Amino acid sequence: MRAVLLAAGLGTRLRPLTDTVPKCLVPIKGKPLLDIWVESLLHAGVKRILVNLHYMHELVEDHIANTAYRDQVETVFEPELLGTAGTLVANQEFFKGEDGMYIHADNYSEVDISQLIELHFQRPKNCLMTMLAFRTDTPQTCGILELDDQNVLQKMYEKSPENHGNLANAALYVLSNELVTSVTTEHDFSTQVIPKLLKRIYVVETDKTYIDIGTPESYQRAQEIANVD
């Protein structure tokens, strides 16, 4: 199993913190968010990780070069942001023709990734990917999910002001190779890829801590409740 960590964003909502440090390196109880992700993936048996970079990419590259995991992680610099689906298009060969993980690295997670991978391989036969979901206190800022009784995605309401519940897309996916190779021209994963896959996405809800590190308030919450080794 291989994984792509999306870490190229500007982190504008976290300013002024991200004026001097890229979002993927912001510390959670003293540990960079990127390290938390990489160590969690490697512990789950992921063999190779690709991190896409843009904003302050030199700082991230230097950081990785000085870690114990440097030989299992590679980076790709995007001079211009390709978008969350564009990065997948540009790096399809990284997956080597196999299923793989595709993850927004700007979240704090205590999810059991090995269990998610196992559930992916047990997903309904017609589903092309597995999506992690969590309960959110701010549904208006998330993609809210509507499922059938088999936990297959029927609808997703992206950042809607209306009440559609609070089961949110965690932006942590396990993709089948069939899906990886089918994405060829899309730019945004949430608005262009997922709508084409309705009724073909298996959803796994977690009860573990999962926080979108998108605002100073959510960052502070992570600092208070995170269980970081």
Count of structural domains, the chain: 1
What confidence score (pLDDT) does residue 229 get? Answer: 75
What confidence score (pLDDT) does residue 18 get? Answer: 64
Instruction: Quote the CA–CA distance of 179 and 175 in Å, as a whole number.
Output: 6
- Give yes or no for a cis peptide into 16 (omega within 30° of 0): yes
Query: CATH code at 77?
Result: 3.90.550.10
pLDDT tens, 122-180? 999 999 999 999 998 888 888 999 999 999 999 999 888 888 899 999 999 999 999 99
DSSP E strands, 29-179 = 31-32, 48-53, 73-77, 100-104, 107-109, 129-135, 143-147, 153-158, 167-175
**What global pTM score does this model have?**
0.93
Domain that holds residue 58: 2-225
Instruction: Quote the CA–CA distance of 25 and 34 in Å, as a whole number.
Output: 6
